Structure 1
Amino acid sequence: MDLSTLVALTTGATLLACVLAVVGLHAHTTGRAQRAELVDRLTYTGPAPAGRRRRFPNLDRRLRRTKTGRRLERRLAATGLDVTPGEFFAAMLAVTAALWLIGQAALAPFFGPLAGLLGIWAALQFLTWQRQKRIEKFINQLPELARILANATQAGLALRTAIGMAAEELEAPAGEELGKVAHQLALGASMDDALGELADRLPSRELVVLVTTLVLSNRAGGQVVSALRNLTETLEERKETRREIRTQLSQVTMTSYAVPVLGVGALFLMNGVRSGALERMTGSPAGQIAVIIAFALYAVGFFLIRRLSRIDV
């Protein structure tokens, strides 16, 4: 084999390797884009947003691969907010950084990290508050939901069809949650699994009773109409009872929030009366320990008041 033939073979092999590398890179990039699109489509169970572009998609995909991100995604799904885990995490970091700087500038450098931790706690409490508000609203819709299901089954419709009908007639959040159940049933999920996930997203005793009634009726048959009629009356009574209890405990709830607010307000008042007092106080380890103990006592008072005023119906 002469030199010219060897050069030609080497050049051809090099060009072929380059072509294969370009084709492989293109296939890899296309596959990653399609996979990311499929993950976004499968993990988002709510209605498609109209005209809103999702932000921080790379951060969102990385978060969903972690256990913490998946837990955060489930909490966001329970709140009904049109926010991805990446967007919420970025907003939480921004709020934490802002509170850190405000606490450090307005009070003392020692209060910067404490204000940052307060921002993280406030963000998680916001999710809990939104979820609880959505659960309360869903519970108030349960009597109407049971009534629609009873009327539909009495008319001879199957339970799957009745759930789809209720999803169309009811407003959010019941309509949205039942729409997810109907979507899962259409994809082949069992009635037990679809309703079980609904009870996990919005946990409440009333919903557990309704889900148990529907699951048992779907398994063994029976008088589902009469059971739903009786359940409707029971849910109406529990709805009124919950409203009365919430009204009676409204003052206690406001007190639980007023206690830590007064404590933080006292810090600003102290620093306003004598400028630099907090910085001098937190300049020693004894002062820092005293501040941490004070914040811990305020937190304990808040949780104790909330716990003692909680009445399960």
Structure 2
Amino acid sequence: MDLQTLVTLTTGVALLTCVLAVVGVHTYAKGRAQRAALVERLSAAGQIPFTGRRRRFRHLDRRLRGTSLGRKLELRLAATGLDITPGEFFAAMLATVAGLWLVGQATLAPFFGPIAGLLGIWAAVQFLNWQRQKRIERFINQLPELARILANATHAGLALRTAVGMAAEELEAPAGEELAKVANQLAVGATMDDALGEMAERLPSRELVVLVTTLVLSNRAGGQVVSALRNLTETLEERKETRREVRTQLSQVSMTSYAVPVLGVGSLFLMNGVKDGALDRMTGSPVGQAAVIIAFGLYAVGFVLIRRLSRIDV
């Protein structure tokens, strides 16, 4: 192969490489533009939150979303209003479980490592329940104002769909966010019954069920929605005050339910601090291990019973 042929071949390969690079950059840019358009369209339809934050653990998130557990976790996270994906939450939970496992094994005894890991899983589930309940409580507190806005809007001659969109713009989160999802679903063709029903499933409460039922029946039968909403506003205000009084009266009982297991775990640290290695010797036999498991089970039963007995549905 002479020099001229080698130069021609090298030039051709370089040109081909440049062409492939340009095509690759164009395809990459086009793909990013299509993905951005899809994300914007889905966020406008209320399907996914659009925050612009870079998501981590995308591969784990895709794997989780393909399972029933991942889909349930996604729904639970959507109800809490947290800006976190199932993959990110699952990774954080695994890190917490691993950390508590190591801490329990190092500070107490190797037997307490798995128990501390299970407590980490329980704490993660309780955290989601707490966030969800807190968001529901905030939404319930906004229901009287929501009913008042809807009543004024419908009294002014606006359609119920328009009134929902107006309330979504005027109210703060979480009511504004939930009503924005309802308005977006109505904009893409969903019925009023389905959109309001999904909102009631995300944030279950008796007050919201009553409001949704009133709106659905009024929209379906064409009844006096203004008078119904104004009467409902007064009822929701009264229930709001009643719930506040009940929660204040039961605050001491709620703290007791958390103090009981904390005292039990604290006694283990006290026992190990008084006599170093006492927990190692106690959990070194099957009898001691069974006693520890039974004790933790009794603390769990006590926690559940106190929470059940102190729950009053208003």
Please say whether Structure 1 and Structure 2 have the same fold, judged by a TM-score greater than 0.5: yes
Residue equivalent to 2:180: 179
* % identical equivalent positions: 84
* 1:261 corresponding residue in structure 2: 262
Structure 2 counterpart of 1:79:
80
TM-score after normalising by structure 2: 0.87
The Cα shift of 1:62 comes to 1.0
Is the Cα contact below 8 Å between 2:40 and 2:50 reproduced in 1?
Answer: no
Off by >3 Å, runs of 4+ in structure 1: 33-47
Residue 176 of structure 1 and its aligned partner are, at CA, apart by 0.4
Cα deviation, residue 61, structure 1: 1.0
Q: How does 1:200-215 map to 2 (within 5 A)?
A: 200-215=201-216
Q: Is the 8 A contact 1:149 1:228 kept in 2?
A: yes
CA distance in 2, matches of 1:218, 1:39: 32
> Is the 2:164–2:183 contact (alpha carbons within 8 Å) kept by the matching residues of 1?
yes
1:231 paired to 2:232: yes
Alpha-carbon distance in structure 1 between the residues aligned to 2:47 and 2:114: 36
1:158-217, Cα deviation, whole Å (9 max, x unpaired) = 101000000000000000000111111111111011000000000000000000000001
Counterparts in 2 of 1:147 and 1:40: CA distance versus 1, 3 Å: closer
1:81-160 alignment, distance < 5 Å: 81-160=82-161
Shift of 1:49: 1.0
Verify the 8 A CA contact 2:264 2:299 in the aligned structure 1: yes
Q: What is the TM-score with the length of structure 1 in the denominator?
A: 0.87
Distance in 2 between residues matched to 1:83 and 1:129, nearest whole Å: 16
Flag the 1:92–1:236 CA change in 2: closer, same or farther, 3 A: same
Alpha carbons 1:46, 1:180 under 8 Å: kept? no
Give the secondary-structure state (helix, strand or coil) at the position aligned to 2:56.
Answer: coil
Structure 2 letter corresponding to 1:45: Q
Match of 2:51 among 49, 52, 55: 49
Give me the CA root mean square deviation.
Answer: 2.2
The answer to whether the 8 Å contact 2:39/2:50 transfers is no
User: 2:179 corresponds to which letter in structure 1?
Assistant: L
Matched residue type, 2:269: F
- Letter paired with 2:197: G
Structure 2 Cα separation of the partners of residues 41 and 70 of structure 1: 21
- Separation in 2, partners of 1:70, 1:224: 36
Count of paired positions: 286
Give the structure 2 partner of residue 276 of structure 1.
Answer: 277
Amino acid at match of 2:50: A
Report deviation, 1:47.
Answer: 3.9
